[in-house]
Structure 1
């Protein structure tokens, strides 16, 4: 990153403009937007075999079984554990990337608020999921096998809690904090669009007997994250590309 020297004869207006331009250049040089998106895309894709092959442990005692079919009214404990651990580790990797980038470029990056917020959101997601196991947003039917997914109606409040408490949405909420940290309007717009997509997707019930029924809930956000990572990497300003 370069900056122009300031002449003693410059007016206060010129000095203020130079300071603002230097501040803008520093903020651009601090950015590494593509990397968090790539990390979370990888975390989301790795979740696919976890969802498919992890054995279910009826930790909360809410599962009902009949020949060839099991219905559980609570989150999958292994999936919940995966997301909590994976998100915390992901924020550690992201923090390491930004610290290394800062040392290489000689410009500090205020990444701590993003990492702290991300970890806090991951832990809050786990806490809300456990709370819903004991305080379900939907009444537990006496015969869950007789209930069709199309007949399930969520109130607006329950729809929002169910959507924003999902691990996929938690990623988007933390991205909004990253947009604030980087003063990145493009990332803010992307994060809002991402949240709209994933909240709508996570709140949609899929009625299927296939063991791969969950794929849309993971592939859609993973694709959005990969496309976002590619776009932010491709269109990085020159000040961001040069160490």
Structure 2
């Protein structure tokens, strides 16, 4: 009886998982953000080669897009659970998504307020600065939400995927503007990491979907 109970518990846990759906929704949100960031970016380059830019499109896009994405994920999870006659613990994930959605604009506003009263540091910034900057970006917050989803689903495969995803976002993604002329190079340098993140999430969605369709 104990063995049957464990097997049933494991089966219910597997049937609750909609990992691929969450990854697909987040992938679409990330890829759709690229044109908003590209065309909504303000770039001003001076004759001496120095450039200033502001990612206004991304700042306006991501808060609303994140809320809609996590709301859509919660609705899809609840509908799938009801169709299978199961319960689901998606509320903590939805709350985490809502909280992380605010992290990016909050960090943006806080840094803007800080540097309006303090001089920008001279010389190269410490490495931890760039890691923190990437963490509070929307794609960094996606990694945090995936860790929460892995905990809720008791999903070791998703935990491994989320850890690898965060390592990619924080340590590997290319960041720079050396991709041609100043205006084009800056935009491409900001679009390329988002494209990579979107493709990785999309591949993850396809992988988890294929794994879910295998006979158990």
Task: Work out whether the TM-score is over 0.5.
Answer: yes
Distance 1:25-1:179 versus aligned 2 partners, 3 A rule: same
Q: Distance in 1 between matches of 2:197 and 2:105?
A: 19
**2:67 — aligned with what?**
88
Check the 8 A contact 2:24/2:205 in 1, yes or no. Answer: yes
Q: Distance in 2 between matches of 1:109 and 1:178?
A: 12
Unmatched segments (≥5 aa) in structure 1: 1-14, 57-62, 143-151
Distance 1:154-1:141 versus aligned 2 partners, 3 A rule: closer
SS of 1:106's equivalent in the other structure is coil
Q: Distance in 2 between matches of 1:204 and 1:214?
A: 7
Matched positions, count: 208
SS of 2:52's equivalent in the other structure is strand
Asked whether 1:47 is paired with 2:33, we answer: yes
TM-score norm. by structure 2 comes to 0.86
Q: Tell me how far 1:174 sits from its aligned partner.
A: 0.2
Asked whether 1:199 is paired with 2:170, we answer: yes
Q: Tell me how far 1:83 sits from its aligned partner.
A: 0.8
**1:108 — aligned with what?**
87
**1:175 — aligned with what?**
146
Q: Distance in 1 between matches of 2:168 and 2:144?
A: 13
Q: Tell me how far 1:139 sits from its aligned partner.
A: 5.2
Check the 8 A contact 2:41/2:56 in 1, yes or no. Answer: no
SS of 2:188's equivalent in the other structure is coil
Check the 8 A contact 1:162/1:203 in 2, yes or no. Answer: no
Taking the TM superposition and a 5 Å limit, the aligned residue runs for 1:1-243 are: 15-54=1-40, 56=42, 66=46, 70-72=51-53, 76-136=55-115, 140=120, 153-201=124-172, 204-208=175-179, 209=182, 210=184, 211-236=187-212, 238=214
Unmatched segments (≥5 aa) in structure 2: none
Check the 8 A contact 2:67/2:98 in 1, yes or no. Answer: yes
